[in-house]
């Protein structure tokens, strides 16, 4: 399978795993050894300043911490749009990449905007490919606006809508279909 780095995985209507129901995951790395990414559309009810004070100055005041996925939820993950993409420790696409560990002072000045995630999403060798074969995920190229949307709660529906008429009905599916 071709690498999905820089793509969004949009959960299909049949994915009921609570970790990924109605999620949009940005894939940051995808190799034969596995894949990793962050869930873009699950803002938590805590700010970055409250939860991860050392990273608080890198985001606007009041910016929520996001749930990046079920792996290492106690570890913060920083995803940023950078004026100098070469400053990224792991460039994902265009000028968006991950900064790992302590952010060097010189890189701080190149951050255009950033999001902080609690944990990440990960797949072992062949796991994501098997999920793709089972139609668990819908793939769409990522856009910078997806990563830093002002309405993360609407991202799942909006990405499906932009995929065209075949996905419009799915984009209106409620989180709990029994409430339809």
pLDDT tens digits for range 55-83: 999 999 999 999 999 999 999 999 999 99
Q: What is the pTM of this model?
A: 0.93
- Enter the tokens of residue 165: 């008429």
Q: Which domain holds residue 67?
A: 7-179
The answer to whether residue 2 sits within a structural domain is no
Q: Where are the beta strands (DSSP E) in 4-130?
A: 7-11, 24-31, 34-39, 43-47, 64-67, 71-82, 90-93, 96-99, 111-123
Residue 171 lies in a domain: yes
Q: How far apart are the first and last CA of the chain?
A: 36
Q: What is the CATH number of the domain that holds 56?
A: 3.40.1740.10
- How many structural domains are present in the chain? 1
Q: For residues 169 and 161, give the distance between their C-alpha atoms in angstroms, rounded to a whole number.
A: 9
Question: Mean pLDDT over all residues of the chain?
Answer: 92
Is 1 a member of any domain?
no
In a domain, residue 70? The reply is yes
Write out the H or E segment, with its range, that includes residue 141.
Answer: strand 137-141
The tens digit of pLDDT for each residue in 130-179 reads 999 999 999 999 999 999 999 999 999 999 999 988 887 666 766 666 55
């Amino acid at each position: 399978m071709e690498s999905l780095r820089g793509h969004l995985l949009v959960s299909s209507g049949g994915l009921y795993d609570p970790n990924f129901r109605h999620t949009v995951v940005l894939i940051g790395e995808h190799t034969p050894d596995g894949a990793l990414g962050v869930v873009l559309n699950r803002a938590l009810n805590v700010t970055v300043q409250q939860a991860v004070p050392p990273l608080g100055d890198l985001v606007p005041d009041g910016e929520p911490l996001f749930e990046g996925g079920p792996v290492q939820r106690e570890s913060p993950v920083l995803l940023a749009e950078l004026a100098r993409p070469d400053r990224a420790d792991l460039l994902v696409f265009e000028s968006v990449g991950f900064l790992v560990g302590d952010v060097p002072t010189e890189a701080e000045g190149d951050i255009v905007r950033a999001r902080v995630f609690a944990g990440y999403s990960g797949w072992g060798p062949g796991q994501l490919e098997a999920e793709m074969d089972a139609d668990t995920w819908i793939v769409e190229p990522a856009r910078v606006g997806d990563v830093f949307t002002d309405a993360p709660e609407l991202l799942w529906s909006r990405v499906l809508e932009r995929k065209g008429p075949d996905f419009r009905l799915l984009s209106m599916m409620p989180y709990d279909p029994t409430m339809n």
